[in-house]
């Protein structure tokens, strides 16, 4: 039962990560593309890591071994790292674009002169 929940979480996380990638492809200009890159991936990675942690617990229980707290700790550490760095890198890219003089597309202009 718990194993299915773990798989479900991982698949759901994968779905969000995929949606984020799809969003990057479909959004009209550079700044809009940052939105799916920054947020959908954060939820996606949290779900995937939650699923992996649950999987670690179920595997330990199935082998009747003590729960592998170290691996879970590492998973949480990676998740926290991504949680902090994703918005920071999104901001860095956005700021670089802004300093480079890229104007955001507002729906009025033609697409090609903003989409670089």
Partner 1 sequence: MRTLLLFLVLMGFWLLLSGQFDKAFLVGSGIVSCLLTVYCCHRLNLIGESYQPIESLPRFLFYLPWLVWQIVLASLDVTRRSWGASSAIQPRLVKVPVKIRHPLAKTLLANSITLTPGTVTVDVAEDHYLVHALTEDAEKGVLDGSAERRVAPMVPGSDKEDPDLQTEASS
DSSP H stretches of helix in 27-102? 30-62, 69-99
Q: Identify which of residues 6 and 34 has a Cβ nearer to partner 1 in the complex.
A: 34
Binding-site member from 9, 16, 53, 55 for partner 1 (CB under 8 A): 16
Q: Binding string, 48-87, against partner 1, x = CB under 8 A?
A: ----------------------x--xx--x------x--x
What are the structure tokens assigned to 75, written together?
């998973």
Query: Rounded distance, CA 62 to CA 95, Å?
Result: 49
Query: Rounded distance, CA 2 to CA 72, Å?
Result: 16
Measured in whole angstroms, the distance separating CA 115 from the mean position of its chain's CA atoms is 23
Binding site for partner 1 (CB under 8 A): 16, 19-20, 22-23, 26-29, 31-32, 34-36, 38-40, 42-44, 46, 70, 73-74, 77, 84, 87-88, 90-91, 94-95, 97-98, 104-107
């Amino acid at each position: 039962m718990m194993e299915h929940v773990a798989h479900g979480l991982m698949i759901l996380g994968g779905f969000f990560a995929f949606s984020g990638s799809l969003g990057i492809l479909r959004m009209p200009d550079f700044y809009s593309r940052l939105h799916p890159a920054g947020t959908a991936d954060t939820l996606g990675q949290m779900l995937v890591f939650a699923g992996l942690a649950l999987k670690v617990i179920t595997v330990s229980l199935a082998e009747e071994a003590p729960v592998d707290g170290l691996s879970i700790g590492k998973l949480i550490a990676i998740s926290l790292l991504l949680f902090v760095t994703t918005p920071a890198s999104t901001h860095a890219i956005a700021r670089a674009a802004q300093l480079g003089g890229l104007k955001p597309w507002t729906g009025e202009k033609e697409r090609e002169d903003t989409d670089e």
